[in-house]
Amino acid sequence: MPRGFDRERTNIHKLQYHFIWCPKYRKSVLEGEVRDCLEELIEEKANELGLEILKLAIRPDHVHLFITGDPTLAPNKI
């Protein structure tokens, strides 16, 4: 089995998602306490769903989230 792939009982997979989103009109609102709270919420939800955060970059006007997940979860549920 190639390195980096996850093996389960019936499948082998390496599923990674790159999500990007921004506030309305790309206003710079993701700073200070808002940024810290958002980071905590994302990490908490990732732990709840059993996802691994590979990279999280929160900029003042947008967010990049690169994660690896389970193929049973649809992207809209993540």
Provide the greatest CA pair distance for the chain.
46
Domain ranges for the chain, please list them. Answer: 11-68
- This prediction's pTM: 0.83
| CATH superfamily assigned to domain 11-68 | Transposase IS200-like (3.30.70.1290)
The pLDDT profile of the chain, 78 residues, written as one tens digit per residue, is 567 787 788 888 888 999 999 998 889 999 999 999 999 999 999 999 999 999 999 999 999 999 998 888 888 888
Altogether, the residues listed in the chain come to a count of 78
Q: Residue 41 and residue 8: Cα distance in Å, rounded?
A: 28
